[in-house]
Chains A and B, each alone.
Chain A
Amino acid sequence: MILSGTVWKVGDHVDTDAIIPARHLVTTDPEVLARHCFEDLDPALAAKIRPGDILVAGENFGQGSSREHAPIAIKAAGIACVVARSYARIFYRNAFNIGLPLLECPDLHAATETGDRLSVDNETGRIINETRGTLHAAAPLPEFMRQLIAAGGIIEYVRRQVSGRKVGA
Protein backbone atom coordinates (compact mmCIF):
# COMPACT_ATOMS: atom_id res chain seq x y z
CA MET A 1 0.00 0.00 0.00
CA ILE A 2 1.26 3.51 -0.82
CA LEU A 3 0.87 5.97 2.04
CA SER A 4 1.19 9.66 1.25
CA GLY A 5 1.32 12.26 3.96
CA THR A 6 2.96 15.21 5.62
CA VAL A 7 5.92 14.67 7.92
CA TRP A 8 6.19 15.35 11.62
CA LYS A 9 9.81 14.89 12.62
CA VAL A 10 11.02 13.96 16.12
CA GLY A 11 14.52 13.18 17.41
CA ASP A 12 16.39 10.21 18.87
CA HIS A 13 15.30 8.12 21.87
CA VAL A 14 11.74 9.42 22.07
CA ASP A 15 10.41 7.48 25.05
CA THR A 16 6.97 6.13 25.86
CA ASP A 17 6.48 8.75 28.60
CA ALA A 18 6.94 11.39 25.89
CA ILE A 19 4.52 9.54 23.59
CA ILE A 20 1.83 9.17 26.25
CA PRO A 21 2.54 10.26 29.85
CA ALA A 22 1.58 7.72 32.53
CA ARG A 23 -0.88 10.18 34.09
CA HIS A 24 -3.18 9.42 31.13
CA LEU A 25 -2.97 5.64 31.49
CA VAL A 26 -6.18 5.54 33.47
CA THR A 27 -8.08 4.99 30.23
CA THR A 28 -7.80 2.68 27.24
CA ASP A 29 -9.94 4.94 25.00
CA PRO A 30 -7.87 5.63 21.82
CA GLU A 31 -9.49 9.06 21.28
CA VAL A 32 -8.57 10.26 24.77
CA LEU A 33 -5.03 8.87 24.45
CA ALA A 34 -4.67 10.57 21.04
CA ARG A 35 -5.43 14.00 22.52
CA HIS A 36 -2.48 13.65 24.89
CA CYS A 37 -0.06 12.07 22.41
CA PHE A 38 3.43 13.67 22.64
CA GLU A 39 2.09 16.06 25.31
CA ASP A 40 5.38 16.37 27.22
CA LEU A 41 7.44 16.55 24.00
CA ASP A 42 5.34 19.29 22.39
CA PRO A 43 1.95 20.06 23.95
CA ALA A 44 0.69 21.53 20.66
CA LEU A 45 1.65 18.60 18.42
CA ALA A 46 -1.34 16.27 18.79
CA ALA A 47 -3.79 18.96 17.68
CA LYS A 48 -1.73 19.67 14.55
CA ILE A 49 -1.54 16.07 13.26
CA ARG A 50 -3.92 15.36 10.35
CA PRO A 51 -5.13 11.86 9.40
CA GLY A 52 -2.58 10.21 7.11
CA ASP A 53 0.44 12.20 8.38
CA ILE A 54 3.73 10.34 8.73
CA LEU A 55 6.02 10.40 11.76
CA VAL A 56 9.77 10.40 11.05
CA ALA A 57 11.95 9.54 14.04
CA GLY A 58 15.59 8.96 14.87
CA GLU A 59 17.19 6.14 16.83
CA ASN A 60 15.50 3.91 19.40
CA PHE A 61 12.00 5.29 18.96
CA GLY A 62 9.60 4.13 21.69
CA GLN A 63 12.15 3.33 24.40
CA GLY A 64 10.94 2.65 27.91
CA SER A 65 7.64 1.23 29.05
CA SER A 66 5.64 -1.67 27.60
CA ARG A 67 2.45 0.43 27.45
CA GLU A 68 0.56 -0.53 24.31
CA HIS A 69 -1.22 2.79 24.84
CA ALA A 70 1.80 4.40 23.09
CA PRO A 71 1.27 3.00 19.55
CA ILE A 72 -2.52 3.20 20.11
CA ALA A 73 -2.20 6.94 20.86
CA ILE A 74 -0.02 7.55 17.78
CA LYS A 75 -2.37 5.65 15.50
CA ALA A 76 -5.49 7.30 16.91
CA ALA A 77 -3.83 10.73 16.56
CA GLY A 78 -3.92 10.09 12.80
CA ILE A 79 -0.37 8.95 12.05
CA ALA A 80 -0.49 6.48 9.12
CA CYS A 81 2.99 5.06 9.65
CA VAL A 82 6.26 5.68 11.45
CA VAL A 83 9.66 5.66 9.75
CA ALA A 84 12.54 5.63 12.24
CA ARG A 85 16.23 4.84 12.15
CA SER A 86 15.56 2.17 14.79
CA TYR A 87 12.98 1.12 17.40
CA ALA A 88 12.94 -0.08 20.99
CA ARG A 89 11.87 -3.71 20.92
CA ILE A 90 8.68 -3.76 23.01
CA PHE A 91 7.31 -0.75 21.13
CA TYR A 92 8.13 -2.51 17.84
CA ARG A 93 6.11 -5.60 18.77
CA ASN A 94 3.25 -3.53 20.18
CA ALA A 95 2.91 -1.36 17.07
CA PHE A 96 2.53 -4.37 14.78
CA ASN A 97 0.13 -5.99 17.20
CA ILE A 98 -2.23 -3.02 17.13
CA GLY A 99 -1.85 -2.30 13.41
CA LEU A 100 0.47 0.73 13.29
CA PRO A 101 2.94 0.17 10.41
CA LEU A 102 6.61 0.79 11.23
CA LEU A 103 9.47 1.07 8.77
CA GLU A 104 13.18 1.25 9.49
CA CYS A 105 15.23 3.54 7.29
CA PRO A 106 18.82 4.64 7.95
CA ASP A 107 18.94 7.89 5.94
CA LEU A 108 15.44 9.38 5.82
CA HIS A 109 15.67 11.18 9.18
CA ALA A 110 18.67 13.33 8.22
CA ALA A 111 17.18 14.13 4.79
CA THR A 112 13.67 15.08 5.92
CA GLU A 113 12.07 17.94 7.82
CA THR A 114 8.67 18.56 9.35
CA GLY A 115 6.24 19.64 6.63
CA ASP A 116 7.83 17.61 3.82
CA ARG A 117 5.52 15.41 1.74
CA LEU A 118 6.40 11.71 1.69
CA SER A 119 5.08 8.75 -0.18
CA VAL A 120 5.83 5.43 1.45
CA ASP A 121 5.31 2.00 -0.07
CA ASN A 122 5.05 -0.06 3.10
CA GLU A 123 5.46 -3.34 1.20
CA THR A 124 8.61 -2.63 -0.85
CA GLY A 125 10.01 -0.09 1.63
CA ARG A 126 10.43 2.50 -1.16
CA ILE A 127 10.11 6.03 0.25
CA ILE A 128 10.01 9.21 -1.85
CA ASN A 129 10.44 12.63 -0.29
CA GLU A 130 8.34 14.54 -2.80
CA THR A 131 9.30 17.93 -1.38
CA ARG A 132 13.03 17.36 -1.83
CA GLY A 133 12.98 14.87 -4.66
CA THR A 134 14.96 12.20 -2.80
CA LEU A 135 14.54 8.44 -2.80
CA HIS A 136 15.08 6.24 0.29
CA ALA A 137 14.96 2.52 0.98
CA ALA A 138 13.52 1.09 4.20
CA ALA A 139 14.55 -2.36 5.35
CA PRO A 140 12.13 -5.05 4.18
CA LEU A 141 9.97 -6.48 6.97
CA PRO A 142 10.97 -9.90 8.29
CA GLU A 143 8.82 -12.69 6.84
CA PHE A 144 7.23 -13.50 10.20
CA MET A 145 6.18 -9.88 10.75
CA ARG A 146 4.57 -9.94 7.30
CA GLN A 147 2.63 -13.05 8.31
CA LEU A 148 1.48 -11.33 11.49
CA ILE A 149 0.33 -8.29 9.53
CA ALA A 150 -1.42 -10.45 6.94
CA ALA A 151 -3.23 -12.20 9.77
CA GLY A 152 -4.30 -8.85 11.24
CA GLY A 153 -1.99 -8.79 14.28
CA ILE A 154 -1.08 -11.24 17.04
CA ILE A 155 -4.63 -11.59 18.40
CA GLU A 156 -6.13 -12.51 15.05
CA TYR A 157 -3.14 -14.81 14.44
CA VAL A 158 -3.76 -16.63 17.73
CA ARG A 159 -7.54 -16.63 17.24
CA ARG A 160 -7.08 -18.48 13.95
CA GLN A 161 -4.56 -20.86 15.52
CA VAL A 162 -6.83 -21.83 18.38
CA SER A 163 -9.82 -22.21 16.09
CA GLY A 164 -7.79 -24.60 13.94
CA ARG A 165 -7.57 -22.38 10.90
CA LYS A 166 -4.34 -21.61 9.08
CA VAL A 167 -2.89 -18.11 8.97
CA GLY A 168 -3.97 -16.33 5.79
CA ALA A 169 -6.78 -18.81 5.22
Chain B
Amino acid sequence: MGMTLTEKILAAHAGEERVRPGDLIDARVDFCFANDITGPLAFREFERIGLPAVFDRERVALVPDHYAPSKDIASAEQCKIMREFAHKYDIAHYYEVGRAGVGHVMLAEMGLVLPGEVFVGADSHTCTHGALGAFSTGVGSSDLAAVMATGRLWFRVPETLRFVFRGRPALWVTGKDLVLHIIGDIGVDGARYCAMEFAGEALGHLTLGERFSITNMAIEAGAKNGIMEPDAAVLDYVTPRAQRPFAPVFADSDAEYAAVREYDTGQMEPVVAVPSSPGIVVPVGFAAGVPVDQCFIGTCTNGRIEDLRVAARILEGRAVHPRTRLLVVPATPAIYRQAMEEGLTRIFLDAGAVVGAPTCGPCLGGHMGVLASGEVCVSTSSRNFVGRMGHRDSRVYLSGPAVAAATAVLGRLAHPDEVLS
Protein backbone atom coordinates (compact mmCIF):
# COMPACT_ATOMS: atom_id res chain seq x y z
CA MET B 1 0.00 0.00 0.00
CA GLY B 2 1.09 3.55 -0.65
CA MET B 3 1.22 6.54 1.66
CA THR B 4 -1.17 9.40 2.33
CA LEU B 5 -0.12 13.00 1.77
CA THR B 6 0.70 13.44 5.47
CA GLU B 7 2.67 10.19 5.60
CA LYS B 8 4.70 11.07 2.50
CA ILE B 9 5.70 14.48 3.82
CA LEU B 10 6.63 13.07 7.23
CA ALA B 11 8.59 10.17 5.70
CA ALA B 12 10.61 12.56 3.54
CA HIS B 13 11.39 14.77 6.54
CA ALA B 14 12.38 11.81 8.73
CA GLY B 15 14.69 10.41 6.06
CA GLU B 16 12.60 7.25 5.86
CA GLU B 17 11.50 5.46 2.73
CA ARG B 18 8.09 4.98 4.26
CA VAL B 19 6.29 5.55 7.54
CA ARG B 20 3.10 4.03 8.91
CA PRO B 21 0.51 5.36 11.35
CA GLY B 22 1.75 4.85 14.90
CA ASP B 23 5.45 5.13 14.02
CA LEU B 24 7.41 7.53 16.20
CA ILE B 25 9.69 9.61 14.01
CA ASP B 26 12.25 12.37 14.40
CA ALA B 27 11.51 14.81 11.59
CA ARG B 28 13.24 17.83 10.13
CA VAL B 29 11.16 21.02 10.49
CA ASP B 30 11.26 23.54 7.64
CA PHE B 31 9.84 26.53 9.48
CA CYS B 32 8.51 27.40 12.92
CA PHE B 33 6.85 30.28 14.70
CA ALA B 34 5.57 31.59 18.03
CA ASN B 35 3.25 34.40 19.07
CA ASP B 36 3.36 36.89 21.93
CA ILE B 37 1.58 34.49 24.32
CA THR B 38 3.48 31.28 23.58
CA GLY B 39 6.78 32.99 22.73
CA PRO B 40 7.87 34.18 26.20
CA LEU B 41 7.58 30.63 27.62
CA ALA B 42 9.37 29.19 24.58
CA PHE B 43 12.22 31.70 24.86
CA ARG B 44 12.77 30.82 28.53
CA GLU B 45 12.93 27.12 27.67
CA PHE B 46 15.18 27.76 24.66
CA GLU B 47 17.66 29.60 26.87
CA ARG B 48 17.70 26.67 29.32
CA ILE B 49 19.07 24.53 26.49
CA GLY B 50 22.03 26.87 26.37
CA LEU B 51 22.72 27.29 22.66
CA PRO B 52 24.17 30.54 21.28
CA ALA B 53 21.83 30.59 18.25
CA VAL B 54 18.58 29.21 16.84
CA PHE B 55 18.95 26.39 14.29
CA ASP B 56 18.41 28.77 11.36
CA ARG B 57 17.55 32.46 11.78
CA GLU B 58 15.74 32.44 8.41
CA ARG B 59 13.39 29.64 9.48
CA VAL B 60 11.94 31.14 12.65
CA ALA B 61 9.12 33.70 12.72
CA LEU B 62 7.97 35.63 15.78
CA VAL B 63 4.62 37.38 15.36
CA PRO B 64 3.05 39.60 18.02
CA ASP B 65 -0.62 39.04 17.14
CA HIS B 66 -2.64 38.01 20.21
CA TYR B 67 -2.19 40.98 22.55
CA ALA B 68 -0.76 43.39 20.01
CA PRO B 69 -0.99 46.34 19.78
CA SER B 70 -0.49 45.84 23.51
CA LYS B 71 -3.63 46.35 25.59
CA ASP B 72 -1.98 46.85 28.97
CA ILE B 73 1.38 46.84 30.74
CA ALA B 74 1.49 43.07 31.22
CA SER B 75 0.88 42.36 27.54
CA ALA B 76 3.36 45.08 26.57
CA GLU B 77 5.98 43.29 28.68
CA GLN B 78 5.34 40.05 26.78
CA CYS B 79 5.69 41.81 23.42
CA LYS B 80 8.89 43.39 24.73
CA ILE B 81 10.28 39.96 25.68
CA MET B 82 9.58 38.81 22.12
CA ARG B 83 11.16 41.91 20.56
CA GLU B 84 14.29 41.50 22.69
CA PHE B 85 14.61 37.79 21.92
CA ALA B 86 14.24 38.51 18.19
CA HIS B 87 16.99 41.11 18.41
CA LYS B 88 19.32 39.00 20.56
CA TYR B 89 19.13 35.97 18.24
CA ASP B 90 18.88 38.02 15.05
CA ILE B 91 15.60 36.36 14.02
CA ALA B 92 14.94 37.18 10.35
CA HIS B 93 11.14 37.09 10.53
CA TYR B 94 10.15 39.25 13.45
CA TYR B 95 7.32 41.61 12.52
CA GLU B 96 6.52 44.73 14.49
CA VAL B 97 3.01 46.14 14.94
CA GLY B 98 2.07 47.83 11.67
CA ARG B 99 3.70 45.06 9.66
CA ALA B 100 2.37 42.15 11.71
CA GLY B 101 -1.01 40.53 11.34
CA VAL B 102 -2.64 37.31 12.45
CA GLY B 103 0.31 34.91 12.15
CA HIS B 104 -1.42 32.10 10.31
CA VAL B 105 -2.74 34.40 7.62
CA MET B 106 0.39 36.48 7.34
CA LEU B 107 2.98 33.69 7.07
CA ALA B 108 1.14 32.11 4.15
CA GLU B 109 0.69 35.53 2.55
CA MET B 110 4.45 36.13 2.79
CA GLY B 111 5.38 32.81 1.19
CA LEU B 112 7.01 31.46 4.35
CA VAL B 113 5.01 28.21 4.46
CA LEU B 114 5.15 26.07 1.34
CA PRO B 115 3.70 22.89 -0.18
CA GLY B 116 5.44 19.68 0.89
CA GLU B 117 7.01 21.28 3.98
CA VAL B 118 6.81 20.50 7.69
CA PHE B 119 5.70 23.57 9.64
CA VAL B 120 5.38 23.80 13.42
CA GLY B 121 3.88 26.68 15.38
CA ALA B 122 3.33 27.35 19.05
CA ASP B 123 -0.34 28.04 18.33
CA SER B 124 -3.01 25.40 17.92
CA HIS B 125 -4.34 26.89 14.67
CA THR B 126 -1.06 26.21 12.90
CA CYS B 127 -3.01 23.45 11.16
CA THR B 128 -4.34 26.26 8.92
CA HIS B 129 -1.37 26.00 6.53
CA GLY B 130 -2.32 22.49 5.47
CA ALA B 131 -4.50 24.13 2.78
CA LEU B 132 -1.23 24.71 0.91
CA GLY B 133 -0.31 21.01 1.00
CA ALA B 134 2.09 21.31 3.95
CA PHE B 135 2.18 19.19 7.10
CA SER B 136 1.44 21.91 9.61
CA THR B 137 0.72 21.39 13.29
CA GLY B 138 0.43 23.24 16.58
CA VAL B 139 2.65 22.53 19.57
CA GLY B 140 3.32 24.02 22.98
CA SER B 141 6.12 26.36 23.97
CA SER B 142 8.61 23.69 25.12
CA ASP B 143 8.29 21.72 21.88
CA LEU B 144 8.74 24.99 19.96
CA ALA B 145 11.89 25.71 21.97
CA ALA B 146 13.21 22.27 21.02
CA VAL B 147 12.54 23.07 17.35
CA MET B 148 14.23 26.47 17.60
CA ALA B 149 17.27 24.68 19.03
CA THR B 150 17.54 21.70 16.69
CA GLY B 151 15.27 22.23 13.66
CA ARG B 152 13.73 18.86 14.45
CA LEU B 153 10.85 17.40 16.46
CA TRP B 154 9.43 13.98 17.29
CA PHE B 155 6.00 13.02 15.96
CA ARG B 156 3.74 10.03 16.11
CA VAL B 157 2.66 9.43 12.50
CA PRO B 158 -1.12 10.00 12.51
CA GLU B 159 -3.79 7.86 10.90
CA THR B 160 -5.37 9.79 8.04
CA LEU B 161 -9.12 10.39 7.83
CA ARG B 162 -10.23 11.48 4.37
CA PHE B 163 -13.16 13.85 3.89
CA VAL B 164 -14.44 14.13 0.34
CA PHE B 165 -16.60 17.13 -0.61
CA ARG B 166 -18.82 16.33 -3.59
CA GLY B 167 -20.81 18.65 -5.85
CA ARG B 168 -20.93 22.42 -5.81
CA PRO B 169 -21.68 24.31 -2.60
CA ALA B 170 -25.07 26.02 -2.60
CA LEU B 171 -25.40 29.82 -2.40
CA TRP B 172 -24.04 31.24 0.91
CA VAL B 173 -22.45 27.93 1.83
CA THR B 174 -18.78 28.74 2.47
CA GLY B 175 -15.72 26.72 3.47
CA LYS B 176 -16.54 27.56 7.07
CA ASP B 177 -19.94 25.89 6.71
CA LEU B 178 -18.28 22.78 5.25
CA VAL B 179 -15.86 22.37 8.14
CA LEU B 180 -18.48 23.15 10.80
CA HIS B 181 -20.67 20.54 9.15
CA ILE B 182 -17.90 17.94 9.54
CA ILE B 183 -17.17 18.85 13.18
CA GLY B 184 -20.89 18.62 13.92
CA ASP B 185 -20.84 15.23 12.28
CA ILE B 186 -17.77 13.64 13.91
CA GLY B 187 -17.58 15.66 17.14
CA VAL B 188 -14.84 17.68 18.83
CA ASP B 189 -12.72 14.57 19.28
CA GLY B 190 -13.78 12.79 16.09
CA ALA B 191 -10.33 13.20 14.55
CA ARG B 192 -8.29 13.13 17.77
CA TYR B 193 -4.60 12.45 17.00
CA CYS B 194 -5.44 11.99 13.28
CA ALA B 195 -4.65 13.81 10.06
CA MET B 196 -7.74 15.21 8.33
CA GLU B 197 -7.24 15.18 4.59
CA PHE B 198 -9.81 17.14 2.60
CA ALA B 199 -10.53 16.36 -1.04
CA GLY B 200 -13.23 16.33 -3.71
CA GLU B 201 -14.33 18.49 -6.61
CA ALA B 202 -16.19 20.93 -4.36
CA LEU B 203 -12.84 22.28 -3.11
CA GLY B 204 -12.25 23.57 -6.64
CA HIS B 205 -15.32 25.80 -6.25
CA LEU B 206 -13.96 27.37 -3.07
CA THR B 207 -11.64 30.35 -2.80
CA LEU B 208 -8.24 29.74 -1.24
CA GLY B 209 -9.44 31.72 1.77
CA GLU B 210 -12.32 29.29 2.23
CA ARG B 211 -9.93 26.34 2.06
CA PHE B 212 -7.82 27.89 4.83
CA SER B 213 -11.03 28.12 6.93
CA ILE B 214 -11.41 24.35 6.56
CA THR B 215 -7.88 23.29 7.53
CA ASN B 216 -7.86 25.96 10.25
CA MET B 217 -10.61 24.16 12.16
CA ALA B 218 -9.12 20.64 11.97
CA ILE B 219 -7.90 21.22 15.55
CA GLU B 220 -11.54 21.74 16.59
CA ALA B 221 -12.14 18.06 15.75
CA GLY B 222 -9.01 17.14 17.73
CA ALA B 223 -6.82 16.56 14.66
CA LYS B 224 -3.06 16.82 14.55
CA ASN B 225 -3.21 18.46 11.13
CA GLY B 226 -5.56 19.30 8.29
CA ILE B 227 -4.28 18.97 4.77
CA MET B 228 -5.25 19.27 1.09
CA GLU B 229 -3.37 18.35 -2.05
CA PRO B 230 -2.05 21.50 -3.72
CA ASP B 231 -3.87 22.25 -6.99
CA ALA B 232 -3.31 24.91 -9.66
CA ALA B 233 -4.96 27.59 -7.51
CA VAL B 234 -2.55 26.85 -4.65
CA LEU B 235 0.50 26.83 -6.90
CA ASP B 236 -0.62 30.11 -8.52
CA TYR B 237 -0.86 31.63 -5.05
CA VAL B 238 2.38 30.23 -3.68
CA THR B 239 4.78 30.46 -6.63
CA PRO B 240 5.13 34.26 -6.88
CA ARG B 241 5.56 34.70 -3.11
CA ALA B 242 7.62 31.63 -2.12
CA GLN B 243 10.70 32.64 -0.16
CA ARG B 244 12.33 29.21 -0.64
CA PRO B 245 12.32 26.57 -3.37
CA PHE B 246 9.63 23.97 -2.78
CA ALA B 247 8.39 20.68 -4.19
CA PRO B 248 4.67 19.84 -3.94
CA VAL B 249 3.83 16.38 -2.60
CA PHE B 250 0.81 14.31 -3.60
CA ALA B 251 -0.77 11.24 -2.01
CA ASP B 252 -0.14 7.81 -3.53
CA SER B 253 -3.14 6.52 -5.46
CA ASP B 254 -3.17 3.40 -3.26
CA ALA B 255 -2.79 5.29 0.03
CA GLU B 256 -4.49 3.72 3.01
CA TYR B 257 -7.03 5.79 4.97
CA ALA B 258 -8.36 4.94 8.42
CA ALA B 259 -11.78 6.14 7.20
CA VAL B 260 -13.32 7.96 4.25
CA ARG B 261 -16.44 10.12 4.53
CA GLU B 262 -18.24 11.86 1.68
CA TYR B 263 -20.41 14.97 1.83
CA ASP B 264 -22.73 16.39 -0.83
CA THR B 265 -22.08 20.12 -0.58
CA GLY B 266 -24.99 20.90 -2.92
CA GLN B 267 -27.34 19.73 -0.16
CA MET B 268 -25.71 21.78 2.60
CA GLU B 269 -26.98 25.04 4.01
CA PRO B 270 -25.27 27.72 6.10
CA VAL B 271 -24.78 26.50 9.67
CA VAL B 272 -23.79 27.81 13.08
CA ALA B 273 -22.07 26.16 16.03
CA VAL B 274 -24.19 27.03 19.06
CA PRO B 275 -22.82 27.77 22.56
CA SER B 276 -20.54 26.45 23.86
CA SER B 277 -18.88 23.92 21.56
CA PRO B 278 -17.70 23.96 17.94
CA GLY B 279 -19.20 20.48 17.78
CA ILE B 280 -22.85 21.47 18.31
CA VAL B 281 -23.74 22.50 14.76
CA VAL B 282 -27.20 23.30 13.39
CA PRO B 283 -28.58 24.92 10.22
CA VAL B 284 -28.89 28.68 10.70
CA GLY B 285 -32.68 28.37 10.55
CA PHE B 286 -32.67 26.37 13.81
CA ALA B 287 -31.09 29.26 15.68
CA ALA B 288 -32.57 32.15 13.67
CA GLY B 289 -34.11 34.92 15.71
CA VAL B 290 -31.71 34.83 18.68
CA PRO B 291 -31.03 38.51 19.56
CA VAL B 292 -27.35 39.32 19.04
CA ASP B 293 -25.28 42.04 20.74
CA GLN B 294 -22.09 41.74 18.71
CA CYS B 295 -20.91 40.30 15.40
CA PHE B 296 -17.23 39.75 14.74
CA ILE B 297 -15.72 39.14 11.30
CA GLY B 298 -12.00 38.37 11.38
CA THR B 299 -9.37 35.89 12.72
CA CYS B 300 -7.19 33.16 11.20
CA THR B 301 -10.43 31.37 10.33
CA ASN B 302 -12.25 34.13 8.43
CA GLY B 303 -10.26 37.37 8.34
CA ARG B 304 -9.14 37.11 4.71
CA ILE B 305 -10.05 39.35 1.80
CA GLU B 306 -12.45 36.72 0.43
CA ASP B 307 -14.35 36.79 3.75
CA LEU B 308 -14.52 40.59 3.75
CA ARG B 309 -15.88 40.54 0.18
CA VAL B 310 -18.69 38.18 1.21
CA ALA B 311 -19.54 40.40 4.18
CA ALA B 312 -19.44 43.56 2.07
CA ARG B 313 -21.81 42.04 -0.47
CA ILE B 314 -24.42 41.72 2.28
CA LEU B 315 -23.64 45.01 4.03
CA GLU B 316 -23.48 47.26 0.96
CA GLY B 317 -26.19 49.92 1.20
CA ARG B 318 -27.42 48.55 4.53
CA ALA B 319 -26.88 49.49 8.15
CA VAL B 320 -25.88 47.51 11.18
CA HIS B 321 -28.90 47.10 13.46
CA PRO B 322 -28.97 49.78 16.21
CA ARG B 323 -28.98 47.14 18.97
CA THR B 324 -25.91 45.38 17.53
CA ARG B 325 -22.19 46.11 17.16
CA LEU B 326 -20.21 44.87 14.17
CA LEU B 327 -16.44 44.44 14.38
CA VAL B 328 -14.50 43.83 11.19
CA VAL B 329 -10.85 42.99 11.72
CA PRO B 330 -8.80 42.34 8.57
CA ALA B 331 -6.24 39.67 9.46
CA THR B 332 -3.16 41.39 8.02
CA PRO B 333 -2.02 44.87 6.94
CA ALA B 334 -2.05 43.68 3.30
CA ILE B 335 -5.69 42.59 3.60
CA TYR B 336 -6.52 45.85 5.38
CA ARG B 337 -5.01 47.79 2.46
CA GLN B 338 -6.72 45.64 -0.15
CA ALA B 339 -10.09 46.05 1.58
CA MET B 340 -9.55 49.81 1.43
CA GLU B 341 -8.58 49.74 -2.24
CA GLU B 342 -11.56 47.57 -3.17
CA GLY B 343 -13.92 49.96 -1.36
CA LEU B 344 -14.90 47.37 1.24
CA THR B 345 -13.78 49.51 4.17
CA ARG B 346 -16.12 52.31 3.06
CA ILE B 347 -19.02 49.82 2.90
CA PHE B 348 -18.26 48.66 6.45
CA LEU B 349 -17.91 52.19 7.81
CA ASP B 350 -21.05 53.36 6.01
CA ALA B 351 -22.92 50.44 7.58
CA GLY B 352 -21.80 51.50 11.04
CA ALA B 353 -19.18 48.83 11.64
CA VAL B 354 -15.87 49.43 13.35
CA VAL B 355 -12.86 48.34 11.29
CA GLY B 356 -10.05 47.33 13.64
CA ALA B 357 -6.32 46.93 13.34
CA PRO B 358 -5.05 43.43 12.49
CA THR B 359 -4.99 41.34 15.70
CA CYS B 360 -6.36 38.09 17.12
CA GLY B 361 -7.84 40.25 19.93
CA PRO B 362 -11.58 39.55 20.15
CA CYS B 363 -11.32 35.85 19.23
CA LEU B 364 -9.83 34.94 22.60
CA GLY B 365 -11.55 37.62 24.66
CA GLY B 366 -8.24 39.44 24.66
CA HIS B 367 -9.09 42.99 23.72
CA MET B 368 -10.99 45.04 21.10
CA GLY B 369 -14.44 43.54 21.64
CA VAL B 370 -14.64 41.60 24.92
CA LEU B 371 -18.15 40.41 25.86
CA ALA B 372 -20.03 41.38 29.04
CA SER B 373 -22.15 38.95 31.06
CA GLY B 374 -25.21 37.73 29.21
CA GLU B 375 -24.08 39.10 25.85
CA VAL B 376 -24.41 37.11 22.65
CA CYS B 377 -21.90 37.23 19.81
CA VAL B 378 -21.95 35.74 16.33
CA SER B 379 -18.31 35.26 15.45
CA THR B 380 -16.43 34.01 12.41
CA SER B 381 -13.71 32.67 14.70
CA SER B 382 -13.13 29.02 15.54
CA ARG B 383 -13.97 28.55 19.23
CA ASN B 384 -17.03 29.26 21.34
CA PHE B 385 -16.05 27.64 24.62
CA VAL B 386 -17.41 29.10 27.88
CA GLY B 387 -15.67 32.44 28.52
CA ARG B 388 -13.79 32.33 25.23
CA MET B 389 -14.67 35.88 24.17
CA GLY B 390 -15.23 37.42 27.56
CA HIS B 391 -17.49 36.87 30.59
CA ARG B 392 -18.23 33.25 31.43
CA ASP B 393 -21.94 34.00 31.06
CA SER B 394 -21.55 35.39 27.53
CA ARG B 395 -22.42 33.14 24.60
CA VAL B 396 -20.81 32.73 21.20
CA TYR B 397 -22.25 31.32 17.97
CA LEU B 398 -19.70 30.44 15.28
CA SER B 399 -20.55 31.11 11.64
CA GLY B 400 -19.15 32.06 8.27
CA PRO B 401 -18.90 35.72 7.19
CA ALA B 402 -22.24 35.74 5.32
CA VAL B 403 -24.26 34.73 8.38
CA ALA B 404 -22.33 37.14 10.62
CA ALA B 405 -22.99 40.05 8.23
CA ALA B 406 -26.68 39.22 7.80
CA THR B 407 -27.01 38.90 11.57
CA ALA B 408 -25.41 42.32 12.07
CA VAL B 409 -28.00 43.89 9.75
CA LEU B 410 -31.02 42.28 11.39
CA GLY B 411 -29.75 42.32 14.98
CA ARG B 412 -30.72 38.68 15.37
CA LEU B 413 -29.23 35.48 14.10
CA ALA B 414 -30.19 35.39 10.45
CA HIS B 415 -29.78 33.49 7.19
CA PRO B 416 -28.20 35.65 4.46
CA ASP B 417 -31.32 35.05 2.34
CA GLU B 418 -33.30 37.13 4.82
CA VAL B 419 -31.23 40.16 3.81
CA LEU B 420 -30.34 39.41 0.21
CA SER B 421 -31.89 36.66 -1.84
Q: Is the CB of A153 within 8 A of B366?
A: no
Query: Which segment, of B139-147, B236-244, B257-265, faces chain A?
Result: B139-147
Partner of B142, one of A25, A88, A97, A162: A97
Q: Is the CB of A18 within 8 A of B386?
A: yes
Interface presence of B192 (CB below 8 A):
yes
Q: Is the CB of B385 within 8 A of A64?
A: yes
Assuming the A-B contacts A65-B124, A67-B37, are A93 and B149 also in contact, with contact meaning beta carbons closer than 8 angstroms in the complex?
no
**Complex Cα–Cα for A158 and B153 (A):** 10
Instruction: Please provide the chain A residues from 22 to 44 with a CB less than 8 Å away from any CB of chain B in the complex.
Output: 22-23, 25-28, 39-41
* Total contacting residues, chain B, CB less than 8 A: 51
Residues of A within 8 A of B340 (CB): none
**Complex Cα–Cα for A76 and B218 (A):** 30
Instruction: Please provide the chain B residues from 110 to 124 with a CB less than 8 Å away from any CB of chain A in the complex.
Output: 122-124
* Total contacting residues, chain A, CB less than 8 A: 42
**Complex Cα–Cα for A41 and B392 (A):** 8
Q: Is the CB of B188 within 8 A of A153?
A: no
Partner of B188, one of A23, A60, A69: A60
Q: Is the CB of A155 within 8 A of B49?
A: yes
Residues of A within 8 A of B123 (CB): 65-66
Residues of A within 8 A of B366 (CB): 22-23
Residues of A within 8 A of B254 (CB): none
**Complex Cα–Cα for A59 and B277 (A):** 14
**Complex Cα–Cα for A22 and B67 (A):** 10
Residues of B within 8 A of A60 (CB): 188-189, 192, 222
Residues of B within 8 A of A66 (CB): 38, 122-124, 126, 138-140
Interface-centre pick from A69, A98, A158 (highest chain B CB count, 10 A): A158
Interface presence of B17 (CB below 8 A):
no
B40 CB, min distance to chain A CBs, angstroms: 5
Task: Output the nearest chain A residue to B382 by Cβ-Cβ distance.
Answer: A64
Interface presence of B173 (CB below 8 A):
no
A24 CB, min distance to chain B CBs, angstroms: 10
A68 CB, min distance to chain B CBs, angstroms: 4
Q: Is the CB of A69 within 8 A of B146?
A: no
* A residues whose Cβ falls under 8 Å from a Cβ of B: 13, 15, 17-18, 21-23, 25-28, 39-41, 59-60, 63-69, 86, 88-90, 93-94, 97-98, 142, 144, 153-155, 157-159, 161-163
* B residues whose Cβ falls under 8 Å from a Cβ of A: 24, 37-38, 40-41, 44-45, 48-51, 66-67, 72, 74-75, 77-78, 122-124, 126, 138-143, 145-146, 149-150, 154, 188-189, 192-193, 219, 222, 224, 277, 364-366, 370, 383, 385-388, 392
4 other A-B residue contacts (CB within 8 Å) besides A26-B78, A93-B139, A155-B45: A40-B387, A65-B123, A68-B41, A162-B49
